[in-house]
Amino acid sequence: MRTINRIFIHVSDSPDTLDIGTKEITRWHSDPPPKGNGWSDIGYHGVVRRNGVLELGRPISKIGSHAKGHNSDSIGLCWVGRTVPTAVQYQSLLNATRLLMAVYGIKADQVLGHKEVDPGKSCPNLDMVKFRKDLA
């Protein structure tokens, strides 16, 4: 089993009105260019849909493809949307993150937004200071 030290939070960057899940994001990630990235699988380990349902993505036992240079020891969670998660979606994202923190012994300061390791990104379009406080 691989060592997990961090959790990265992402956003699908799709319209907030579009309810998609792992099936659609897997196509975005695995279809050959120019339609997709040409990866072997979805890059995220979990996707939280607009209705709060958590869908499993790439198995946690496998290295994700979600934060270049930071994938080997991390888990990637993605919320579907662009600007504002639904209340139930935000709560589900918190719950999934808390569970993973407990399982892997991860502290809140090791829960990061993608933009915190790649300043060129806006992802996850959340206030990560508030998100980390809400994890408590």
4 versus 36: which is more confidently predicted?
A: 4
Specify if 1 maps to a domain. Answer: no
What integer pLDDT is reported at residue 63 of this predicted model?
97
The answer as to whether 31 is a domain residue is: yes
Q: What mean pLDDT do residues 17-21 have?
A: 94
Q: How far apart are CA 36 and CA 7, in angstroms?
A: 24
How many Cα atoms sit within 13 Å of 86 on the Cβ side? 15
Domain assignment present for 46: yes
**29 tagged catalytic:** no
Instruction: Find the helix or strand (DSSP H, E) in which 27 lies.
Output: helix 22-30
* Catalytically annotated residue among 29, 45, 115, 123: 123
Cis check: omega of the bond before 124, within 30 degrees of 0: yes
Q: How many domains does the chain have?
A: 1
Candidates 66, 70, 114, 115; catalytic one: 114
Assess whether 121 carries a catalytic annotation: yes
CATH number, domain of 73, equals: 3.40.80.10
Buried b (16+ CB within 10 A) or exposed e, 39-64: beebbbbbbbbbebebbebbebeeeb
pLDDT tens-place string over residues 45-86: 999 999 999 999 999 999 999 999 999 999 999 999 999 999
Distances (CA, A) of 74 to 1, 5, 67: 12, 6, 9
Of 10, 29, 66, 115, the active-site residue reads 10
* % pLDDT > 70, the chain: 100
**Is 105 within the bounds of a domain?**
yes
The CA-based angle 85-128-116, given to 5 degrees, is: 115
Relative orientation angle of helices 128-135 and 87-104, to the nearest 10 degrees: 70
Known catalytic residue at 10: yes
Report if residue 32 sits inside a domain.
yes
Domain with 119, as residue range(s), is: 6-135
Tell me if residue 44 is catalytic: yes
| Domain contains 13 | yes
Question: Does the model's pTM come out above 0.85?
Answer: yes
